[in-house]
Structure 1
Amino acid sequence: MRKGQTSVLKRVIVDYKKLDKNMLNLLVEKFPDGYDDDDIVTYRNANNEVVECVEVRTEDTAYLVKVSKRLVMAMEDFDDSDNDDSEDSDLDTDELEASEEE
């Protein structure tokens, strides 16, 4: 990087369905006890709908992960499976969607 240049983070908006094991791990590390209202970033999308997200950063990217009941469940399930030393790297979104419909 040349003198005078600043590092610009790539910004990515991600739905919980697209989260991989590494991203879930970052979320659980940043919010071990869950997130609260102060952690939520709110913006309006192209359809003028309010979208709520939590931010997680890596060295080169700032991720905004869309907040939903499913995200909370995914983080809890990941944290539980991580404690069990599970080798499962895929998030079972079908189970989460079915439980939200109930």
Structure 2
Amino acid sequence: MKNVIVDYKKLTPEMVALLVEKYPAGYGDEDIITFKNHKNETIEAVEVLTEDTKYLVKISKRLSAQMDAFDLDDYDEKSMDDPDALPEMDAQGKKV
């Protein structure tokens, strides 16, 4: 199994759907994984597993907003792997 660290900006609708499925009420302190990256910066992330990959998704206000605003019905099968299919969020977590 490979490990991948990903920022919310690079999430696909499919990955957001997995996050929403795993954390339907949002994630809590007990779900957060804290570690140091190669630059010795502290990173906080939540984990999502697929068949062959463990994703550590960096936490931000925008990630929470993206999860809250996500509706699977807004995406077709072609757009599920496209990070550009997700709406952009502003600093307050509102769709742009």
Q: TM-score, normalised by structure 2?
A: 0.81
- Structure 1: runs of 5 or more not aligned: 1-8
SS of aligned partner of 1:13: strand
Matched, 1:34 2:26: yes
8 Å CA contact 2:62–2:92 kept in 1: the answer is: no
Task: Select the structure with the greater relative contact order (CA < 8 A; seq sep ≥ 6).
Answer: 2
- Structure 2: runs of 5 or more not aligned: 80-84
The 5-angstrom pairing of residues 1-102 of structure 1 reads 9-78=1-70, 81-82=71-72, 85-87=73-75, 89=79, 90-93=85-88, 96-99=89-92
Partner Cα separation in structure 2 for residue 69 and residue 41 of structure 1: 16
Q: Which has the larger radius of gyration?
A: 1
Letter in 2 for 1:49: E
1:98 Cα deviation after fit: 4.4
- Matched-pair identity in %: 56
Cα RMSD (Å) of the superposition? 1.5
* Corresponding residue pairs, total: 86
